[in-house]
Every structure is written in C-alpha cells, then in structure tokens.
Chains A and B, each alone.
Chain A
Amino acid sequence: DSGVTQTPKHLITATGQRVTLRCSPRSGDLSVYWYQQSLDQGLQFLIQYYNGEERAKGNILERFSAQQFPDLHSELNLSSLELGDSALYFCASSEALGQTYEQYFGPGTRLTVT
C-alpha cells in the first residue's frame, strides 16, 4: 500500500459526459501528479500540482483540468468525454519538488467511455 488513495476504482460513462477523479496523497506529501495509461500511448504525464499551485503540464487535453485543494487532495476533471479517453488514470505524490524524490502511485481509476 503506497498510502495514495484514488476514487472511484472504476468508472463507466458515456461519450460527451463529464467525470471527476479524486486523489488523496500520502500524508505529508505536497506534490501531486496525474498520469494517464492507455494501451496505445503507455504511461503519460498529464499535470502536476505542488501545495495548491500548478507546477508542470504535460500532454493534457484542454477538455481536462485539475486542481489541488488546501487539504492537498486533488481532483482531475474530464469533460466532453470521447471513446479515446478510456484509460487508467493514476495519481502519484511525492514529498517535495526535487527530482530525486520518489513518486508514490495510487491504485488508479479505470475509466471506460462507451
């Protein structure tokens, strides 16, 4: 158990809909990362937050957004969903910003868009 929790575990929804994925980082970790894992693209970084502020952006679509709240939990919002958004979404947390700090990953949310 990494200490990172993600809800829900599974989500099935229809095209055009909007969903929210939630992540609670390890106790004391200030940095949260979101990654997407699909069969054709592998594991890809989406976005990072540190202590409530956005710090880095990857290949995140404009239809996707995220935020980190004062209690440090984070939410990833996916809107106007398309079939291609079906994937595993992982949240990871780390203690600080430094590149040597390991990231701890949650169990993921499996999103299926039908």
Chain B
Amino acid sequence: DAKTTQPNSMESNEEEPVHLPCNHSTISGTDYIHWYRQLPSQGPEYVIHGLTSNVNNRMASLAIAEDRKSSTLILHRATLRDAAVYYCILRDGSSGSARQLTFGSGTQLTVLP
C-alpha cells in the first residue's frame, strides 16, 4: 500500500472543529483512504473511509482533495473523548491485493478542556 504522512501531534480545544491532515502523494487510482483511531488503552476503531468523493458519517467527515494526493479528517466538535491517535491508511481496492491494515505512526490528538 502507498505511504501516508501525518503530523505527529495536534491540539484542539473542546467543542471546536478539528482538521486532521494526511498526505498521500503516491496514491493510486484503486486506493481507498481509511481513517482509524485508537483511544488510550483500547483497540483501533474505524472512523471513515472514501475513494474520491467527500464522505460524512455520524463520527466525522472526510474531505478528499481533487487530485487525491491529500485528505482531511474533520471532527466537527471535538470532545475530550476524541483524544486519540488517528491513523490515515491507504488500502488498495483491487482484487487480490493485501487486505490487512498497514498502520503508520498516526497523529496524536490532544483535546484541551
């Protein structure tokens, strides 16, 4: 899977929006963009994924650049519970490709009260 680059850490104030960036300049046409997060002392948790169009779900929004070389995970109102490590992961959607998740180092999000 292609590589992603994320900032090591970010801070946000509670109840404010958070924009978590991810660069993936070598993304291929069949790569899906997935986001997972890992809260302290827990297993990773699926957040959202997309291919080309922006996506929204109950947890977050995913904004994908037109050239797909970057994306942004948007938490609309950060809560203390959103403090976690956020992982941006590319997964090749073509048949026969690897199915496991390849985790990088992610972004440690700190939410300040």
Contact surface of A with B, Cβ cutoff 8 Å: 2, 4, 31, 33, 35, 42-45, 48, 55-56, 58, 90, 92, 97-100, 102-108
**Chain B 67-99 interface residues, beta-carbon cutoff 8 Å to A:** 87, 91-94, 97-99
| A-chain residues with CB within 8 Å of residue B100 when the two chains form the complex | 33, 35, 45, 48, 56, 58
Are B43 and A100 within 8 A (Cβ)? no
Query: Knowing A45-B101, A48-B99, A55-B99 touch, does A102 contact B43 (C-beta < 8 A)?
Result: no
Interface size for chain B: under 10, 10 to 19, 20 to 34, or 35 or more residues?
20 to 34
Are A100 and B49 within 8 A (Cβ)? yes
Are B92 and A99 within 8 A (Cβ)? yes
Question: How distant is the Cα of A108 from the Cα of B38 in the complex, in angstroms?
Answer: 12
Are A45 and B46 within 8 A (Cβ)? no
| A-chain residues with CB within 8 Å of residue B87 when the two chains form the complex | 43
Question: How distant is the Cα of A98 from the Cα of B99 in the complex, in angstroms?
Answer: 7
Are A108 and B102 within 8 A (Cβ)? no
| B-chain residues with CB within 8 Å of residue A104 when the two chains form the complex | 46
Least Cβ distance of A41 to chain B in Å? 10
Decide yes or no whether B44 CB sits under 8 A from chain A: yes
| Residue on A nearest B103 in the bound complex, by CB | A43
Least Cβ distance of A42 to chain B in Å? 6
Least Cβ distance of B8 to chain A in Å? 13
Least Cβ distance of A66 to chain B in Å? 13
Are B93 and A100 within 8 A (Cβ)? yes
Question: How distant is the Cα of A97 from the Cα of B101 in the complex, in angstroms?
Answer: 12
